[in-house]
Amino acid sequence: MRIVIIGSAAAGVPAASRIAHGDRNAQITVYEKSPFFSCGSCGLPHYLGNPKSDLAAAINRKSEELKREGVDARLCHEVVDIDPVRKQLTVCDGQTGQTFVDSYDKLVVATGSRNIIPQVPGSDKMGVHVLKSVGDLIFLKEFTKTPFVHNIAVLGGNFAGLEIAKAFMKLGRSVRIIEKEQKLLPAFDREVSDRIEKELEARGVTLCLGETVRGFTGRTYIEKVQTNRGNYDCDLAVAAIGVKPNTELLARIGAALDETGAVIIDGGLQTSVKDVYAVGDCARMREQGLRSSSLKMDDLEIARTGLTETEAKQRGIRVKSAMASAYDRPGICPDPNLVTVKLVYDASSRRILGAQAWGRKHVTDRINAIAVAIHAGMTPEQLGQVDFVYSSSVSSIWDPIQVVCNEAL
């Protein structure tokens, strides 16, 4: 079977690897239009904020791994057209400019998404950028080395924005976060947002909440960012206000898209077009998952899964919530860690709907356990009775999960 994968975005390379391991006889080709294999955009801030990190080594490892697995991975090759009837692709070689036709039995689209830049006056000036690709990373690492880049504005207070802000903080730059909502992390309830806001302000980050970018001023390079509330010095602005799925190829062949422009896939990752599949940021399942996610901000780790209390109420669900803090190991042990968990559950059925947690470490582990409980349809009573591992050196008699479940009784 011949399988072609379009794009080496975060999901493309793992898809090729998984297929190669599962079917040794499959002929797999990956076409990537850029000169780099993607390392996944969520990992880019790490390389931006760490001057000693070796991104080239990480990218080279991927190339070598694919070769060992028998995958034909071609950089600088862009698929410009799909013929789903003949099961053929038109591919442009970016180095020679020549096009050729390739065929497939199964097609996997992993074209990812692109960051949205606010379309305001001055957004075309030098210094307004995004961090989505390896090329973006290379530019930003070099640009921030110049002596005049000191004041940096991060547009967006979501996960991506905070990761980017953290990277510039590590580089010793003055960081300002501009967020149109009245709080950071709009996907979390107020308790979590308040905690992260205090953490950032304590570290010298300026927060401009409830502010919308109106424009950028300067000559060739930006010098100020204008919002509905003021003008601020700005040598570099990095936009993290959202993404747009790269689904133009799929739209042309009639694949069903959702309201965001993402291609709709079923549980088997197939689109509405026969033998055409999609993975990663360009795709959305009809039934969304729990959207579990986490963020590490120096000494603070936060995570969530399922619905927040706000989201549940917006859906018309009558909910209750419980919140509790507990140490993850006995206080007599070295370095005990206080973990706070907020549990959201249905007031009628008492089924757990979601959770958020924060602490210095081991937070994501708790959220993962609660995600399993949500899938199992458990109530706080049932989850609270789970026999978690106890060891005096690594865990408490009562886990923070059990403590918050008891609060819900």
Confidence at residue 57, expressed as pLDDT on a 0 to 100 scale: 62
pLDDT band at 58 (very low <50, low <70, confident <90, very high): low
Tell me: pLDDT of 370 over 90: yes
- Tens of pLDDT along 88-141? 999 999 999 999 999 999 999 999 999 999 999 999 999 999 999 888 998 999
- Asked whether the domain spanning 293-407 has the same topology as the one spanning 2-33+53-113+244-285, the reply is yes
Percent of the chain with pLDDT over 70: 96
Confidence at residue 61, expressed as pLDDT on a 0 to 100 scale: 59
Q: Where are the domains of the chain?
A: 2-33+53-113+244-285, 117-239, 293-407
Higher-confidence residue of 62 and 11: namely 11
293-407: CATH superfamily: FAD/NAD(P)-binding domain (3.50.50.60)
E strand intervals along 139-273: 151-155, 174-179, 206-209, 213-218, 222-227, 231-233, 236-239, 243-245, 263-265
- Tens of pLDDT along 60-78? 556 777 888 889 999 999 9
Confidence at residue 108, expressed as pLDDT on a 0 to 100 scale: 97
Q: What is the pLDDT averaged over residues 285-295?
A: 83
Tell me: pLDDT of 225 over 90: yes
Instruction: Tokens for 267, please give them.
Output: 């549980």
Q: What's the CATH number for 2-33+53-113+244-285? A: 3.50.50.60
Closest CA to 93 of 47, 35, 136: 35
C-alpha angle 229-207-321 in degrees, rounded to nearest 5: 115
Q: What is the pLDDT averaged over residues 363-386?
A: 96
Q: What is the pTM of this model?
A: 0.87
* DSSP secondary structure of 264-322: EE-TTSB-SSTTEEE-GGGEEESS-----EEEEETTEEEEEEE--HHHHHHTT--EEEE
pLDDT band at 297 (very low <50, low <70, confident <90, very high): confident
Q: Which fold has domain 117-239?
A: FAD/NAD(P)-binding domain (3.50.50)
- Tens of pLDDT along 20-51? 988 888 999 999 998 887 666 778 898 898 87
Averaged pLDDT of the chain: 92
Percent of the chain with pLDDT over 90: 73
Task: Give the least confident one: 57-61, 328-332, 346-350, 398-402.
Answer: 57-61
Confidence at residue 291, expressed as pLDDT on a 0 to 100 scale: 87
